[in-house]
Amino acid sequence: SQQGEEDPQALSIQEGENATMNCSYKTSINNLQWYRQNSGRGLVHLILIRSNEREKHSGRLRVTLDTSKKSSSLLITASRAADTASYFCATAVPFTGGGNKLTFGTGTQLKVEL
């Protein structure tokens, strides 16, 4: 099965509310990254959290990582209609020669309504 599995698969909220998405994974990782994708478009990098970090903030985004439970969460505060997109977590495992391989989760489709 997938290295990263996300829940919920779909989330619909009102503008101004907070949105929380969860990601679980199976193997040891170097870091975990969250990406956003608008329908049929490219992947936009949101935030990276390293395996020795527990929490990270970036603007309205807050990411937590619990390596003992192999899980992460992404919180978007004060959501806006423009936040409507699919959100993917991706776990990074390093190659021996440098760089890292990303394994993506199944994604959460977030819809923020006015």
Partner 1 sequence: AAGVIQSPRHLIKEKRETATLKCYPIPRHDTVYWYQQGPGQDPQFLISFYEKMQSDKGSIPDRFSAQQFSDYHSELNMSSLELGDSALYFCASSRAPPSGIADTQYFGPGTRLTVL
Q: Which residues bind partner 1 (CB under 8 A)?
A: 2, 30-31, 33, 35, 40-45, 48, 50, 88, 92-107
Contact 72, 79 (CB under 8 A): no
For residues 79 and 104, which CB has a smaller minimum distance to partner 1 in the complex? Answer: 104
Cα four-point dihedral sign 3, 4, 8, 9: negative
CA–CA distance, 111 with 82 (Å, rounded to integer): 9
Quote the least distance from Cβ 42 to partner 1, whole Å: 4
Please identify, using beta-carbon distances, which residue of 79 and 108 lies nearer to partner 1: 108
